[in-house]
Chains A and B, each alone.
Chain A
Amino acid sequence: MNTLATAVRRMLTEGRQDSHGNRLLLAAVEREALERISPLLDGSTRWLAAALDGSGPDWVWGNAPEYASVTG
């Protein structure tokens, strides 16, 4: 988790190639996840932010894991 955090930050600030060596330190499952997410990191994650604002597709948080308030 800590190493992955550093890898993600380096990917964003230094570019994908520069972080390659760092990514090798990650567990295989984390490396795979990082590679899956990297195509989405084309400068920003606006696609997700837009969805969260309600202007995007409802699949993002259409079923947010929030309990119904049962005490109100």
Chain B
Amino acid sequence: MLRFNMTLLLVLVVCALALVTSQHRARKLFQELEREQERARQLDVEYGQLQLEMSTWATHPRIEKIARDRLHMLAPDAAGRPLVTVAGKPVGGR
């Protein structure tokens, strides 16, 4: 009887220690998860900022200015726009 009780006690202690360890590990993992989620949020914010930057660089007035002034581009006149047809029908439209 005594021996059985001792065994149970031992099992109890082992279980208790296992519980503590697993709790600790769970918390460690949770912290890691938190960190990664925070990083994801940061990246999200950065993505937004980069999108903002991109659209600021790509505003139409800026593109037109560069195309005209720096690259000396011109819109082709009507004669300079050949029309490609497939089976007699013009190609185009989105």
* Same complex: no
Please report A residues at the B interface, Cβ cutoff 8 Å: none
Please report B residues at the A interface, Cβ cutoff 8 Å: none
